[in-house]
Amino acid sequence: PEVDLTTVPVGNLPYQTSEEAVGNHFSQAGHVTNVKIVYDRETGRMKGFGFCDFADAAGASNAVNTLNGADFGGRQLRYPVYFFVAASNSPINSATMGSRGVHSVYVGNLPYQTSEEAVGNHFSQAGHVTNVKIVYDRETGRMKGFGFCDFADAAGASNAVNTLNGADFSGRQLRVNYANRN
C-alpha cells in the first residue's frame, strides 16, 4: 500500500487550539503546507486530533522525531501507532500491542459511499466489533475515506490487521493497521 510520508496525524490536541496554532507549532520541524483539525460532524466539537501536511517527507520525519510527546497547549502531542508502522514499513508485534490495551484498528481507503454499519459488518468476521467511527470533513460533511474499528479484545484487532489489510471491500483495497486513540 502507498504511504503518504508528508502527512503527520497528530493526537491529544488541546480542544481550544486552532489550525493556525498547530501549523505555527509544527513549522519548527519543517515547511507546513496545511493543517486539518477533525471535528465531530454532529456536535461540531473538536475531536482532539488532526493532520499536519509538510512540503516534504523530511519535515514530517523531523516532526515525528522531535515533537512526539512535546508539550503543546498544556498537552503532550501523540502520533498514532499506525503512522509509525506505515512510516517504518515494519510489522508491529500484536502481543506487545495487546498488552498496551489497544483494541482499535485504523481502516483506510474506505469507499466514500459506505456506512459505519457496513464497515462493522465486514470487520465482524475478525472478531466482536464494539464501535465503528468513520471520519468526515467538518466543512463539507464528506467522508474522508478512513475511520476506526474497535474490538472487544486484542485478538479481534490482531485478526483484522492480519486478515483484512489489503482485502477487497466494495471494490477498494483496505488498509488496516493498529490504531492508538487513547
Over residues 47-65, the mean pLDDT reads 84
Over residues 138-142, the mean pLDDT reads 77
Helix %, strand %, coil % of the chain (to 5): 30, 30, 40
Given a contact cutoff of 8 angstroms between Cβ atoms, the answer to whether 49 and 38 are in contact is: yes
Over residues 89-112, the mean pLDDT reads 60
Q: In the predicted model, is pLDDT for residue 83 greater than 80?
A: no
Q: In the predicted model, is pLDDT for residue 178 greater than 90?
A: no
- H or E element at residue 96: helix 94-99
State the pLDDT at residue 58. Answer: 85
Q: In the predicted model, is pLDDT for residue 79 greater than 90?
A: no
pLDDT tier at 143, thresholds 50, 70, 90: confident
Predicted structure pTM score? 0.48
State the pLDDT at residue 129. Answer: 85
Given a contact cutoff of 8 angstroms between Cβ atoms, the answer to whether 59 and 30 are in contact is: yes
- The span from the CA of 105 to the CA of 13, in Å, is 20
State the pLDDT at residue 91. Answer: 40
DSSP string, 150-168: EESSHHHHHHHHHHHTT-E
Average pLDDT of the chain to the nearest whole number: 80
- The span from the CA of 103 to the CA of 73, in Å, is 28
| Domains in the chain: ranges and CATH | 7-79 (3.30.70.330), 94-179 (3.30.70.330)
State the pLDDT at residue 57. Answer: 80
**pLDDT-above-70 percentage for the chain:** 82
pLDDT tier at 122, thresholds 50, 70, 90: very high
- The span from the CA of 79 to the CA of 68, in Å, is 7
Q: In the predicted model, is pLDDT for residue 92 greater than 80?
A: no
Given a contact cutoff of 8 angstroms between Cβ atoms, the answer to whether 28 and 19 are in contact is: no
Q: In the predicted model, is pLDDT for residue 94 greater than 90?
A: no
State the pLDDT at residue 105. Answer: 87
State the pLDDT at residue 180. Answer: 56
